[in-house]
Amino acid sequence: MLLNIVRLRYADPPTFLDTTQVIAGYSVSKSVSGGFYAYPATAVGNYLFGTGTMSMGESPTFTYQPVTGQQYAENVVRPISPTVIMPLSLGGLPIDTLLRLTAQSIDGLSNVRGLGAGPFGGGSVRFYLLLHDLRQLQVAGAMTIRITTDPVTPTDSKKNGGKSDSNGGGPGPERSYLVLTSTSESNLLAIQAEVRRLLHLDPTAEEAEIVYGPYPKHPGQIAILTRSMLAMLTQLAYEVEVPEGDIKAGRTPPTIGQVGIENRPEVVIHSSKEEPDGPYAAVSYHNAWFWISDRDFQSKLAFTMVQVLAALAATNHTGGAVVTIPAG
């Protein structure tokens, strides 16, 4: 994952592999030998002797399947649905980090877009103010995500071109809602009011449906334009710390700066000529080392979230070439 981020920074194609099989191989060998010497051939203390040895080995086999074709389109290029992303915040993952990684825009408020949008990527300060407010509400328990499966109604059937399930009705698609829970604390009430204002919600709204898109189609909705895995990794690549010589030589463009209240990337990736000592993750690329510090908890958490999102995005698995690499 880290290597793909660095490759994208240098405009090199990334490689995506699915681990389809892991075979653990173990080997154990033992040997024992012994004997005796008859008197008077040797000293009395050496009448008997013996030796023994034991060795153990492990040689696991990993089977990888390259992600190509339709599988690549589904798992890497297609945006991840907000319905898949938002429930992750219910498990305690910071909602601001989650949305900084996955959301390109929320109700028209833009996240950093990339190198073509200027030195700061065209991001909106109000986008980060919204994430800051949502995180405060999440920590205080004044906000949550509600997941529901509403029954299919005749109206929904017409919207879907007259299609319905075999029972003439039943559970519809999974939907997620942002819920602003009741609170009596004035500071939390003020933050909830600011969130409603930024999201263009009714001042008394207690929840709003989360939908995919740049703008909501109906009142009471929150539109999130989500990123694909490829777009997510590309955005992280724009923020990688790279050697100054590579920028001057034209091998890679300058690093994107931070917007507004943000003072650091979600995943801080350092670079150096020497191999780092005890990093969380490190790769060698073009005579330089790129690494994440083991002492940077925020970067480690965000990088772990990227890997979780990659697993959630893998909705399509098809047959293909299989590479088996024995290790050990």
Q: How far apart are CA 290 and CA 2, in angstroms?
A: 8
**Of 231, 225, 313, whose CA–CA distance to 8 is shortest?**
231
223: how many CB neighbours lie within 10 A of its CB? 21
- Residues 145 and 178: beta-carbon distance below 8 Å: yes
Q: Where are the alpha helices (DSSP H) in the chain?
A: 2-9, 69-72, 82-85, 95-102, 125-140, 154-159, 186-198, 229-238, 244-248, 297-313
Predicted model pTM: 0.77
- pLDDT tens digits for the chain (328 residues)? 999 999 999 999 998 887 777 777 767 777 777 666 655 555 555 566 667 787 877 777 878 888 888 888 888 899 999 999 999 998 889 999 999 999 999 999 998 766 554 455 567 889 999 999 999 999 999 999 999 887 655 555 444 444 444 445 566 788 999 999 999 999 999 999 999 999 999 999 999 999 999 999 899 999 999 999 999 999 999 999 999 999 999 999 988 877 667 778 899 999 999 999 999 999 999 889 999 999 999 999 999 999 999 988 876 555 555 666 666 5
Please classify residue 307 by burial: count the beta carbons closer than 10 Å to its beta carbon, then call 0-12 exposed, 13-18 middle and 19+ buried: exposed
Q: Find the radius of gyration of the CA atoms of the chain.
A: 28
Which token pair is 103? 């959301």
